[in-house]
Amino acid sequence: MSTPYAKLPAWADYVLIPLINLFVAFVVAGFVVILVGENPLRAAVVLVEGAFGRGQGIAFTLFYATTFIFSGLSVAVAAHCGLFNIGGEGQGYIAGLGIGIVCLAFDSVLPWWLTFPIAIIAAAAMGALWALIPAYLQAKRGSHIVITTIMFNFIAASVMVRALVGYLKPPASMAPQTRTFLEGAQLPKLNWVIELFGAKIRSAPFNVSSLLALAMAFLVWVLIWRTKLGYEMRTYGHSPKAARYAGISEIRIIIIAMMISGALAGMMALNPTMGDQHNVALEFVSGAGFVGIAVALMGRLHPVGIVMAAILFGMLYQGGAELAFEMPAISRDMIVIIQGLVILFAGALEHMFRPYVQALFASLSPKSVGMEAVKGKGA
Amino acid sequence: MDFFNAIVQVLDSTIRLSVPLLLACLAGLYSERAGVFDIGLEGKMLAGAFAGAAAASVFHSALIGLGMAILISVAFALIHGFASITHRGNQIVSGVAINFIAAGSTIMLGQAWFQQGGRTPALAAGERFEAITWPGADALRSVPILGPIYSELISGHSVLVYLAFLAVPFTWWVLFRTRFGLRLRAVGENPAAVDTAGISVAWLRYRALICTGVLTGIAGAYLSMVQNGGFVKDMTAGKGYIALAALIFAKWKPVNAMFACLLFGFLDAASIRLQGTPLPLIGKVPVQFMQALPYVLTVILLAGFIGKAIPPRAGGVPYVKER
């Protein structure tokens, strides 16, 4: 069988094609805007201005992006091992339980810089634990991980309702959420970083968990491309057969990859709870776990790409809120459509434009796509 | 007698609640038997529900609503096919994409067209499917045992309910007694063999997805035009995923699918009925436990503790012609 696609230069592969996919997704989204009777170009201007126009907007954009970096990394780590972890939503949600317990226990006695590490461990452990059962079932009994992780999303939702209503909420309160955390469990804001550049911020939830997100992005890069474990994961992702032949334990690699993925998804819960709302409430994840799928696909599973894609989605979330305010016909659900379109074009239809780009490159300079080499091999 | 009436009522709502699951489950059966994993049942159902309710309230006709629901749902199925059959994209990723596009666009278009916070206007009498009372149902109501069963359980449902249950033997017949069904099952097990026989794998899979779209469209129409009398945002609320679970539970067989859906529907009906009432021996069961039960059961089943569920062998793999 011939190789279906000739090689493209790296920049085309990692920058040009994702940009084309993104562009097409936005063009289709533009048609939806026309359908509800608004001007898509003006909508785009409002969106970008809302996200980056003022310091306030930038801080919110980065706040949203932080959550998406975690969930994007979570999807990417599993994907490198050939697993589709669609359960980031549930893993992040259940991590809220660990965070809630830690914060309620320590917020009156410890300062934030001691509570935070404990909460990180609790969140990661809960997320990893929630991914462990689907991982074990996939590895040992061959249960399809996509289905089991979806099921665990629903189970997590039920468990969290039970935990919040039954145990975590203050007895006197009706609202299904914990009491507000004291100062010992409130993460300091990073808004001053943006203010250094002269922008004014009234109040925005951009906080230190963003630094954790960047650190995790770096660690994931080290893990995937610079360690033996990462190499084994990629090997298994490319070809389970080859991995087995090389003596890599299938069970071990699936479980480790999924637990790392779950831990990353769990850490996603730190940002909205300790960083913003200062409590654990019902549905506080609100779809961020699913955004991770789009972010990971858009970022082509590379941490640098994921950070950039996360900022893009942060921009959509923040700008989308402004857009809903400026143009009443466009609700915030526009973001969900864009999210779906990005998953469709950057994920499922990833290769749709590739042949055209290749043809273009081949006609411009045959050398850049390695045409001679391919001909030489007689493929 | 009170106890008996309560049981009949629970079974009656079991039927009502399992219909959308059953239709979606059979929809998934067609596509998964043809080798296309369909995680996008949820989105197709939602799109169908919106299109049905919107069209019914604009054109004042339940039938136009149903037609529109099917049309839009099939269109979504074809997008799924375009990505996962024609362009050989990941079937699961494209299914997820469909769910998001449906979730976002139904709310946004609903808000833009009807300005009721993502709802469609409440459907009037002629715009929804009414319950059909079978002959003699009222007269027989007072007969003990059989009376309530006939007049509550069998009679008094909308036409879509009967359609859903008739779709079970029909699906069985199509899959196991027609040439199309044989080929459809073959393409899910060994597409290369079907290709060798000179039959187009892509066209077969597209046809399977069209069947899926028709059934999810009806499921959506049932939700918004029978159960609810209007579209409410996110009204599928995970039913597409439960249907998927039921499909695995049923081991990809139509009659099993009906029983699996009735079981999940029963769990749902029982959890509504038992809210707050203590059970003998067990005591008070939290509602959340009953709500989580279908998912827990599915996981246990998937783990292979209740017999092994073996999916169609070529499921999830885009077919690449050998060259």
Angle, in degrees to the nearest 10, between helices B91-114 and A17-35: 30
A349/B89 touch (CB, cutoff 8 Å), yes or no: yes
Low-confidence ranges of chain A (pLDDT < 70): 1-6, 366-379
What is the pLDDT, as a whole number, of residue A2? 39
B244–chain A Cβ distance below 8 A for any pair: yes
Q: What is the model's pLDDT at position B309?
A: 66
Which of the pair, B67 or B301, is modelled with greater confidence?
B67
C-alpha distance from B107 to closest chain A C-alpha (Å):
7
Task: Please report the DSSP string for A189-212 in residue order.
Answer: B-HHHHHTTT---S----BTHHHH
* Alpha-carbon span B298 to B251, nearest angstrom: 11
Mean pLDDT of chain B: 85
A162 vs B: CB within 8 A: yes
Q: What is the pLDDT of residues B89-138, one digit of tens each?
A: 888 888 889 999 999 889 888 888 887 777 888 877 777 787 777 777 77
DSSP structure string for B12-24: HHHHHHHHHHHHH
Q: Which chain A residue has the Cα nearest residue B289?
A: A158
Q: Among A32, A214, A183, A19, which Cα is nearest to A112's?
A: A183
Domains of chain A: 1-35+349-379 (no CATH), 36-330 (1.10.3470)
- Could you say which residues from 326 to 345 on chain A have a Cβ atom under 8 Å away from some Cβ of chain B? 329-331, 333-341, 343-344
Instruction: Find, in chain A, the residue whose alpha carbon is nearest to that of B110.
Output: A36
Q: Decide if A271 contacts A209 (C-beta within 8 A).
A: yes
Interval A36-54: pLDDT, tens: 888 889 888 988 888 888 8
- Give yes or no for B291 touching A (CB within 8 A): yes
Q: What is the pLDDT of residue B98?
A: 92
Number of H helices, E strands in chain B: 13, 2
Q: Per 3-state DSSP, what percentage of chain A is helix, strand, and coil (rounded to 5)?
A: 75, 0, 25
User: DSSP code of A326?
Assistant: H
CB contact under 8 A, A36 and B108: yes
Cα gap A149→A143, rounded to integer Å: 10
ipTM of the complex as predicted = 0.87
**Which residues fall within 8 angstroms of residue A72, CB to CB, at 6 or more apart?**
A291, A292, A295, A296, A299, A306, A309, A310
* Digit-coded pLDDT (tens) for B264-299: 888 888 877 776 666 666 666 777 887 788 788 878
Say if the Cβ atoms of A154 and B238 lie within 8 Å.
Answer: yes
H or E, element range at B157: strand B157-158
Q: Which token pair is A336?
A: 């969900």
CATH architecture of B2-128+149-302: Orthogonal Bundle (1.10)
The DSSP code for B279 is B
Q: How far apart are CA A288 and CA A9, in angstroms?
A: 33
Q: How far apart are CA A344 and CA B100, in angstroms?
A: 10
pLDDT(B45) > 50: yes
CB-based burial of residue A77 (10 Å sphere; 0-12 exposed, 13-18 middle, 19+ buried)?
A: buried
Chain B residues lying within 8 Å of A1, measured CB to CB: 322-323
Question: Do the bridges between strand B157-158 and strand B131-132 make them parallel or antiparallel, or are there none, so unpaired?
Answer: antiparallel
Query: Is B147 an 8 Å CB contact of chain A?
Result: no
The full DSSP string for B26-40 is: HHHHHHHHTT---TT
Rg over alpha carbons for chain B, rounded to the nearest Å, is 20
Q: CA–CA distance from B19 to each of A75, A326, B158, B167, B292 (Å)?
A: 34, 42, 11, 11, 19
Interface test with A, best of B38, B80, B93, B264 (most A CBs within 10 A): B93
Tokens at B280, concatenated: 């003998």
Q: Which of A28, A71, A86, A47 is nearest to A325 (CA)?
A: A47
Residues 6+ positions from A130 with CB-CB distance below 8 Å: A87, A90, A91, A94, A95, A152, A156, A262, A266
Whether B232 and chain A come into contact, CB under 8 Å, resolves to no
- Which residues 31-60 of chain A have a CB within 8 Å of chain B? 32, 35-37
**B90 contact partners, CB below 8 Å, separation of at least 6:** A347, A348, B84
pLDDT cut 90: percent of chain B above it: 33
Q: What is the DSSP letter of A188?
A: P
- Whole-number pLDDT of residue B306: 63
Interchain proximity A334–B291, CB inside 8 Å: no
Q: Are A97 and A288 in contact (CB under 8 A)?
A: no
